[in-house]
């Protein structure tokens, strides 16, 4: 069930990268009009979505590896949300110093991190329950 949900989210990301970025900026940044995304961001988001769909369809070890990586990323984001914000602004925006993060986004980042840890742990447990 989780694999289907992850695949659907990958498809949505593939089809609507602009809307994903707009949603992110609406909730994460207090001054979204000040930030200029780097040119490669939307194609990278679309590529990530395609990769997630393909991996979700294939399943097996590749899906397990992706979910392990998701859980590890979630743990890092959960524990170090400020580091994530610094990294995200540097990687995603032309002028990272111009980006002002919404303070409430820290809670959102931690929630997302916790969900990623949960998903990674659940798929790990389910995989090891089968063997």
Q: What is the reported pTM? A: 0.83
Q: Which residue has the tokens 């994903």?
A: 20
Element (H, E) at 70: helix 60-79
Cα distance between residue 78 and residue 106, in whole Å: 9
Q: Say what the pLDDT of residue 130 is.
A: 62
Q: How confident is the model at residue 59 (pLDDT cuts 50, 70, 90)?
A: confident
pLDDT in tens, 77-116: 999 999 999 999 999 999 999 999 998 888 999 999 999 9
Under 8 Å between Cβ of 101 and 28: yes
Strand pairing partners for 7? none
């Amino acid at each position: 069930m989780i694999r289907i949900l992850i695949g659907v989210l990958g498809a949505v990301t593939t089809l609507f990268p602009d809307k994903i970025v707009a949603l992110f900026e609406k909730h994460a940044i207090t001054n979204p009009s000040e930030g200029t995304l780097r040119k490669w961001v939307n194609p990278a988001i679309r590529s990530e979505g395609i990769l997630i769909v393909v991996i979700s369809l294939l399943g097996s070890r590749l899906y397990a590896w992706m979910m392990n990586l998701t859980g590890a990323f979630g743990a890092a984001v959960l524990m170090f949300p400020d580091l994530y914000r610094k990294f995200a602004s540097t990687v995603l925006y032309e002028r990272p110093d111009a980006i002002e993060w919404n303070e409430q986004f820290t809670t959102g980042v931690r929630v997302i991190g916790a969900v990623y840890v949960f998903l990674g742990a659940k798929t790990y447990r389910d995989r090891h329950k089968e063997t």
